[in-house]
DNA sequence: GTCTATAGAAGGATAGAC
DNA sequence: GTCTATCCTTCTATAGAC
């Protein structure tokens, strides 16, 4: 396929992804999606019968990307310290490319909690958790880190990378004008956060 | 005023707060607000001419409550360790009573960044920051904690209390069914997080 | 597959009686 | 202040020509 010859379906899907991610389901208009895709409304309905179905397709894709990235960043055989360094580098890098994703996903999950269950097969979580918990247990056993509640730790780790993006309107404002300051701020976190966590876990 | 004799304006305001917080501006319907308030649509417009104005009133109030609480929790003369213990106890306690507030505020700020500037006078932030930064500098000077980027630390502290609420649909799902598990989970954080932060800041 | 035109429903807002 | 009735715009969705 030629690079510049996207199918109409792809153009629609990309347009819808941007609009939905930016404005949410209820804030988005089919007309605006059609305009951005460079076609008319009727064609939207020809490809994806309803707004709901179009949204479903987009949300599944975007939420899928987000979770897949999260898990893949934690799924390797590095020792904890390197794993954290790798995680924050990769994960914050990903979020820099999709800064609106967390707030979008969180908002839409609140609007319709059932939706997520379809996408987010618990198996992925269970497997990832099992593996990562095992690693933590071993490092606790070996005395590398102090004993901790593992679920709480996972939430802490993720919170520290995701939160600034979920709240980026606020964080940006406090940091001062311009996208650049926000980007520098999260860039720094790629190296600061692994240290922060490792320190928090160090045995006394 | 009698306890059971709320004014109509109050009934509208309370109904609107619940609906807007749950569904956001674009997802909320004036009809639904009227129904919950036990009146009809026309009366909504009599009190708050437009949906936009009604939303403005609600958002200012709710966002104001959220920030005021955040700042007041950090504004005391306790030494760092006690301050953190107090902060998480108070702040998580507050969020337990308003679990939908963070996602709501973050979403609406993205939808309309100018709105927040009107509410969120930078003065509050500047004053709070100055005072808290001074305390951190003193504790660094005294060797109680290691040198850190203070802005990054503030974001970390807030991220750890707020994130589980912003993402509570997800966190709840991972924890398993039922509100109770989520509530237990965040309840534990009131005592775990101060330790986590203090450890992360300890001098080697 | 793609368009124009339009049906049909929903939602915000107002007029006017009481 | 509060209600009923209704206007008018906006939006999703479809019909039908090409």
Contacts of B113 in chain A (CB under 8 A): 169, 173
Residue A119 burial by CB count (10 A; 0-12/13-18/19+): exposed, middle or buried? middle
- As a rounded value in angstroms, the CA-to-C1' distance for B24 and C15 is 30
Closest approach of A5 to chain B, Cα-based (Å): 33
Q: Average pLDDT for residues B1-24, to the nearest whole number?
A: 89
> Of all helices (H) and strands (E), which one includes residue B48?
none
Closest approach of A31 to chain B, Cα-based (Å): 16
CA–CA gap between residue B84 and residue B78 (Å, rounded): 9
- Chain A segment 85-144 residues within 8 A of B by beta carbon are 100, 102-103, 105-107, 109-111, 113, 116-117, 120, 125
Task: Please say if the pLDDT value at position B2 is more than 60.
Answer: no
Q: Are B21 and B108 in contact (CB under 8 A)?
A: no
CA–CA gap between residue B83 and residue B71 (Å, rounded): 12
Q: pLDDT-based confidence at B117, cuts 50/70/90?
A: confident
CA–CA gap between residue B90 and residue B198 (Å, rounded): 17
Task: Find, in chain A, the residue whose alpha carbon is nearest to that of B200.
Answer: A200
What is the reported pLDDT for B20?
A: 98
pTM of the model: 0.95
Cα separations (Å) of B165 from A116, B66, B169?
17, 13, 8
CB atoms closer than 10 angstroms to residue B16: 26
What is the reported pLDDT for B166?
A: 98
Contacts of B107 in chain A (CB under 8 A): 24, 103, 106-107
The answer to whether the CB atoms of A103 and B100 lie below 8 A apart is no
Query: Diameter of chain A by CA atoms?
Result: 66
Q: pLDDT-based confidence at B50, cuts 50/70/90?
A: very high
- Identify the residue whose Cα has the smallest distance to the C1' of C1: A43
The β-bridge partners of A145 are A202
Give the angle subtended at the CA of A150 by the CAs of A148 and A156, to the nearest 5°.
95
- Chain A segment 147-186 residues within 8 A of B by beta carbon are 149, 151-152, 155-156, 158-160, 162-164, 166-171, 173-175, 185
- What the block records as the tokens of B98 is 């308003």
- Rounded to the nearest angstrom, the gap between the alpha carbon of residue B79 and the centroid of all alpha carbons in its chain is 24
CB atoms closer than 10 angstroms to residue A141: 10
- What the block records as the tokens of B78 is 């306790």
Task: Find, in chain B, the residue whose alpha carbon is nearest to that of A119.
Answer: B170
Residue B113 burial by CB count (10 A; 0-12/13-18/19+): exposed, middle or buried? middle
Q: Are A17 and A103 in contact (CB under 8 A)?
A: no
Q: For chain C, which bases have at least one atom within 7 A of a protein Cβ?
A: 1-6, 10-16
Q: Who among B100, B111, B160 is closest to A159 (CB)?
A: B160
Q: Are A76 and A54 in contact (CB under 8 A)?
A: no
Spell out the domains of chain B, with CATH numbers in brackets: 1-49 (1.10.10.60), 58-201 (1.10.357.10)
Q: Are B82 and B169 in contact (CB under 8 A)?
A: no
- Interchain contact A63–B (C-beta under 8 A): no
CA–CA gap between residue A87 and residue A74 (Å, rounded): 6
Q: Are A61 and B149 in contact (CB under 8 A)?
A: no
- Mean pLDDT (chain A) is 93
The answer to whether the CB atoms of A110 and B120 lie below 8 A apart is no
Q: Are A102 and B169 in contact (CB under 8 A)?
A: no
The answer to whether the CB atoms of B113 and A169 lie below 8 A apart is yes
For chain A, percent of residues with pLDDT exceeding 70: 96
Task: Please say if the pLDDT value at position A139 is more than 70.
Answer: yes
Residue with tokens 């760092």: B80
pLDDT tens by residue, A36-60:
999 999 999 999 999 999 999 999 9
CA–CA gap between residue A126 and residue B147 (Å, rounded): 38
């Amino acid at each position: 396929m030629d690079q510049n010859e996207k199918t109409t379906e792809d153009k629609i899907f990309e347009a819808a992804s941007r609009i939905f991610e930016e404005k949410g389901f209820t804030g988005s208009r089919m007309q605006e999606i059609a305009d951005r895709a460079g076609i008319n409304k009727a064609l939207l309905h020809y490809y994806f019968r309803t707004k709901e179905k179009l949204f479903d397709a987009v949300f599944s894709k975007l939420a899928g990307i987000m979770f897949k990235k999260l898990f893949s960043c934690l799924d390797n055989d590095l020792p904890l310290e390197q794993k954290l360094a790798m995680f924050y580098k990769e994960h914050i890098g990903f979020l820099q490319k999709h800064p609106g994703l967390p707030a979008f996903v969180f908002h839409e999950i609140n609007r319709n909690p059932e939706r997520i269950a379809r996408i987010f097969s618990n198996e992925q979580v269970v497997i990832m958790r099992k593996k990562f918990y095992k690693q933590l247990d071993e490092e606790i056993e070996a005395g590398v880190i102090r004993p901790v509640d593992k679920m709480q730790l996972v939430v802490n780790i993720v919170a520290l990378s995701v939160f600034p993006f979920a709240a980026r309107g606020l964080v940006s404002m406090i940091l001062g004008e311009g996208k650049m300051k926000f980007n520098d701020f999260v860039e720094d976190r790629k190296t600061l956060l692994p240290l922060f966590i490792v320190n928090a876990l160090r045995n006394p």
